[in-house]
Structure 1
Amino acid sequence: MARLLDRLATRLLKLPPATTGYTVTKDLRVPMRDGVTLAADLFRPVAEAAGTILIRGPYGRGMFAAGAAGVYAARGYAVLYVSSRGTFGSGGVFDPMATEADDGQDVVRWMVAQPWFTGRFATLGISYLGFTQWALMADPPPQLAAAIVAVGPHDFARHMWGTGALNLDFLGWADLVAHQEDPGVLRRVYRQATAAKRLGPVLAGLPVADAGERYLAGRAPWYRDRVTRPDLADPFWAPMRQAAALERADVPILIAAGWQDLFLEQSIEQYTRLRDRGVDVALTVGPWSHTQVAGQGAGLITRETLDWLGEHLAGHGRRRRRTPVRVFVTGAGEWRDLPSWPPAERERTFFLNVNGELTAERAGEAATAAFTFDPARPTPVSGGPVLSGGGVVDDSALAGRDDVLAFTSAPLTEPLTVLGAPVLTLAHSSDNPHVDVFARLSDVGARARSRNVTEGYLRLDPERGDGPVTLRLRNVAHRFAAGSRVRLLISGGAHPQYARNLGTGENPSTGSAMRPATHAIALRTSSIVLPQVEPEG
């Protein structure tokens, strides 16, 4: 089975051929400081190991995990794959991300004392398995030689509440984790395939915390705490906020991300903060959503991982990437090598204008636009950086809604390439201080089909007073073709990506009363600035 899995992975992912066979020792017990033991599998190459790889996470050590670990074992690395506490045979109670820092230190303490340990190790993994790496690097062990983090957050609290609004994706993830050990592979696959349909009525329910708890039926006891604590300074969040790793990690780190990924902005921050400290860091960003990274992006990321391990762990490889940063430019369908991110840029400003136009000239002094957000009928959103159903979609229907403002440019006379984070400035007011602002930049093609490019979301401070609202959209690398149009969509919500603003000031997860809000925008001083790279013709 191991050989078959490796042959399949080698062909599908276009990997270099295996160099050795390997053995698997299952269900090792790794002791924690509180007496709990974690379950682990060890993959050991038949040949002398070139280094050790540590992978930790809550998703089990089944065929998919074994195939991933086997890829590296078959190329000369010893791989220790450890299940998070409370999952797949590990003792204790699963409390997402709360114990990963301490448990990581205990796993390393045990690992380096084993006779098979090679003296140096690297970490790797995707998503939650990326968080476990940052948690370890907040206090990096001396034996750590390198890390490869794919779409992995370092600050889970900020993902949940960083916009001021609750990220409702957490319910879908809680549902997935709560049932991932249910018997029957086909049953689990079916459950996941029908998750969106089942979760729809739950996400529409109020209060949010109660609706989620009823649905989860006690299988995720940690759910309520995370959806009812909007204060990022709450000590509850401390173990789930590992930004210290960005100041303490000093090993070579490869970061992989996707333009439509949940954690893109944290991946960009990881790269920039490490780069600014002089750490050897590289960044690859592809055209992927979160789930697509493990599918469409798997081949490229695995090949880059093998190169990184060869150079920094085994010591027999050479750097194959030409520049520290590689990004896929959507709209152009091409990869671009860059010395840094974001690249040097000039600005292209579009002003919001009357009749839904996006222009190079300002609107008249008295020009305004308005819409009403009704939390009883929250503005929907499709595609974008969500866990299920995310990515690039046709969002034309949004522009026609009465609770959305749409501003569209004239057809471009030449291509426009945007690399970086667009910034939206709105002269905004509302008749209710409790409001959110959602903005999306879309590409309207020659056939009038609109496809999302990037977006941003912000819950406004009800005490903010007068003054412009500035919203920094997510980073992007996209080329608008000649003849296409730039579209800006503005609304007061993006449900069910974010919990609706109830308009009352109540805790968004425990409240149920609702009050609409009318937003008004003075167009003359409202604009979006795009970081444009070199002129193109």
Structure 2
Amino acid sequence: MTRPTPEARPRSARKPPAGKPPLASRLMRSTWRGLPAARHEVGVERGLTVPAADGSPLVTDHYFPRAEGDFPTLLVRSPYGRGVPWSPQYGMLFAEQGFHVVLQSCRGTGGSGGDFHFWRNEAPDGRATVDWLREQPWFDGSLGTVGPSYLGYVQWALALEPPPELKAMVVQVGLHDPYALFHTDGVLHLETALAVGSGMTYQHRGMGPFLRATLRLQRRMRSVVTARPSRGAYADALGGEVPWLDGVMDHPDPDDPHWDGASLAGAADRAAVPTVLITGWHDVLAGQTFEQYGRLRRAGADATLLVGPWTHTSALQKGWPEVFAESLAWLRAHLCADPSGLRPTPVRVHLGGTEPAVRDLEAWPPAGAATASWFPAPDGHLTAEPPTDAAPLASFRHDPAGPTPSVGGPLLSRTAGARDNGALEAREDVLTFTGPVLTEPLTVLGPVSARISASTDTGHGDVFTRLCDVDPEGRSTNVCDGLAQLRTTGPDPVRVTVPMGHTAYRFGIGHRVRWQISGGAHPRFAPNPGTGASRTDATEYVPVRVTVHADSELMLPVE
């Protein structure tokens, strides 16, 4: 269909009927400080229906500036409903800055027809929605996308075959690979899987049902994460079976056909759409964001990166004024030809530690960073001196029936982020190696990793490794971490490389670097039964003794 140009359309056709946004949306704007003043009053058309690729009706709300003239359009597709917080944060705030905002419930959610699937429908349904936009008299042919988490996934789905109208993307704490959200090295992210299962099942039904479901999961969490076997144990806590969640939990192998088509990583390799990426150092999807940025830059894309002192949820709460400003500047630059709000460098990171600051950089990881290696030594010391041999150094006994608990880090719960690790490190199943008191600051910028040389007495175990900052009072705070499986045969050690995430962190004078090693972090990760059996099917748990050898190595990218 040939779409009339803006000049050919009657002015009245470009100004939709003006209804008022919901009261909750109008009231919530006052809860954020530091937002730009509104440029326009906002109107809304609620309950529009847009045909999905299979003809199912996708329920859609249209927010718009109550003003004459042409405005670019933002597409926001969500499986979480169209009420709070999506209505105020995306419908209201962006419309009052001069954008049409199309807020749509994904297939099978929020009243939209059809059945929801975690990844199979978003690309065709996104294209179908753009087809519908082309027929709207107020659509001026300039399109952007914006949104967090799964709302980032639907953006990458549209970018697989980007329509010509798509001029900009804003991916906030965003997803592109469902497998990596739920698994690391074949280990299930148990707590995250349960939280996402609850959110996907109830959030689109309204705030009341979602809050009740969240409280129910919290009350029953312990019984779910300690059940043997764990298969199906979530049903009571989530109010019933969730078929897609069963598929997630039952397929830990990334090469399993179950995951075919799930990852949208290839969309970033095409460099077709200017993209801003936003994440936090303790975001559960930070690793995916750094991968997205690396792919975009290697492809020569117009892309920028912002990393703040946030978790997955606090980026949209405490961090929202900065996240909104970054998003708005990018959209104005690429949809409104107004680059005045863009920052001068492609990368901005918040530096954590003793001297919080903001760094503007030309690249991430920064060019020219050196690698400082630290090695475990007897009596819990950490040293820059390489070992003279690969002898056994220290060991711990990990019992999956009473597993090492998780403390802070990249979670979806209120306990996410930097936390005091003192009680955790006092446990007998946790090893710590601590460096000397620093006489000058140590700044770590980039991806942290470890090479761990270890043996087990059962042949099956996990190793969880964490970088911590010990302050002059002895308080140990987590910076970044990672996990890998140990698969050993006989007494000889294996050497595994464990990615521990990215960081920008300064250890101050008087502080010490600490390397923490244990056999897991429960319920963040499903426990290893110690037998080689499936983690979801195991009924027998066997304790494992893990021995760490002296040729293990912690690798820090430093200035």
TM bracket, shorter-chain basis: over 0.9
Deviation (angstroms), 1:463: 7.1
Which residue of structure 2 lines up, in the alignment, with residue 393 of structure 1?
Answer: 419
1:408 aligns with 2:434: yes
2:469 to 443, 461, 473: 443
Cross-structure match for 2:15:
none
Matched position secondary structure for 1:192: helix
Q: How does 1:112-127 map to 2 (within 5 A)?
A: 112-127=134-149
Q: Which amino acid in 2 is paired with 1:244? A: G
The CA deviation string for residues 77-101 of structure 1, in whole angstroms up to 9 with x for no partner, is 1110010111111011222233212
Task: Check whether the contact 1:122–1:146 (CA below 8 A) recurs between aligned residues.
Answer: yes
Name 1:64's counterpart in structure 2.
85
The alpha carbon displacement at 1:466 in A equals: 5.4
Partner of 1:205: 227
1:26-41 matches, within 5 Å, as 26-41=46-61
Structure 2: unaligned runs, 5 residues or longer = 1-19
Give distance in 2, aligned partners of 1:396 and 1:286: 25
Q: Deviations over 1:213-242 (max 9, x none)?
A: 343342523221110011212222223211
Among 324, 344, 356, the residue aligned to 1:333: 356
CA offsets, 1:152-201, max 9 Å, x none? 11111122123220011111221233233557x45643553564343122
Tell me, yes or no, if structure 1 residue 377 matches structure 2 residue 402: yes
| C-alpha deviation, 1:420, in angstroms | 0.8
Give the Cα–Cα distance (whole angstroms) in 2 for the partners of residues 476 and 84 of structure 1.
34
Secondary structure of 1:423 counterpart? strand
Aligned counterpart, 1:178: 201
Question: Which residue number corresponds to residue 11 of structure 2?
Answer: none
Q: Could you tell me which of 456, 461, 464 is aligned with 2:482? A: 456
* Aligned-CA RMSD value: 2.1
Match of 1:51 among 52, 57, 72: 72
Deviates more, 1:230-239 or 1:62-71: 230-239
**2:351 and 2:504 in contact (8 A); partners too:** yes
Q: 1:233 aligned to 255, 264, 275, which one?
A: 255
- 2:437 counterpart SS class: coil
- Which of 290, 307, 311 pairs up with 2:312? 290
Task: Look up the match of 1:358.
Answer: 382
Conserved? CA contact 1:6–1:71, under 8 Å: no
Residues in 1 aligned to 2:122 and 2:434: alpha-carbon distance in whole angstroms? 46
Separation of aligned partners in 2, 1:190 and 1:334: 39
- Tell which deviates more after alignment, 96-105 or 285-294: 96-105
Q: Does 1:472 align with 2:499?
A: yes
How much has 1:507 moved relative to structure 2? 1.8
Residue 363 of structure 1 and its aligned partner are, at CA, apart by: 4.6
Instruction: Count how many residue pairs are aligned between Structure 1 and Structure 2.
Output: 531
* Secondary structure, aligned partner of 2:243: coil
| 1:312-344 deviation line (CA, Å, top 9, x unaligned) | 011133353121000001112111111000112
Identity over aligned residues, as a percent? 39
Q: Deviations 1:468-507 (Å, cap 9, x if unpaired)? A: 2221210011111110111111011111011011112222
Q: Give the direction of change, closer, same or farther, for the CA distance of 1:226–1:376 in structure 2 (3 Å limit).
A: same
Would the aligned equivalents of 2:287 and 2:501 in 1 still touch at CA under 8 Å? yes
Q: Distance in 2 between matches of 1:193 and 1:293?
A: 22
Cα distance in 1, alignment partners of residues 119 and 290 from structure 2: 21
> Alpha carbons of 1:228 and 1:29: their partners in 2 closer, same or farther (altered >3 Å)?
same
| Most deviating of 512-521 and 473-482 | 512-521
For normalisation by structure 2, the TM-score amounts to: 0.91
Post-superposition shift, 1:462?
5.3
Structure 1 186/31 Cα, relative in aligned 2: closer, same or farther at 3 Å?
closer
2:379 partner SS: helix
Between 1:128-137 and 1:63-72, the stretch displaced more is: 63-72
Match in the other structure for 2:528: 501
> Counterparts of 1:150-299 in structure 2 under 5 Å?
150-168=172-190, 169-180=192-203, 185=207, 188-189=210-211, 191-192=213-214, 195-299=217-321
Which residue in the other structure is 1:101 paired with? 123
For 2:44 and 2:230, how far apart are their aligned partners in 1? 44
The verdict on how the C-alpha distance between 1:319 and 1:92 changes in structure 2, with shifts beyond 3 A counting, is same
Q: Distance in 1 between matches of 2:184 and 2:509?
A: 36
8 Å CA contact 1:178–1:219 kept in 2: the answer is no
Amino acid at match of 1:21: E
Counterpart AA for 2:430 = V
Q: 1:264 to 1:463 in 2, by over 3 A?
A: farther
SS at match of 1:369: strand
Letter of the 2:365 partner, please give it.
P
Task: Note the C-alpha offset of 1:461.
Answer: 4.4
Aligned-partner residue type, residue 526 of structure 1: S
Contact 1:210–1:510 (CA under 8 A) maintained in structure 2: no
2:332 aligned counterpart, secondary structure: helix
Q: Equivalent residue of 1:397, what SS?
A: helix
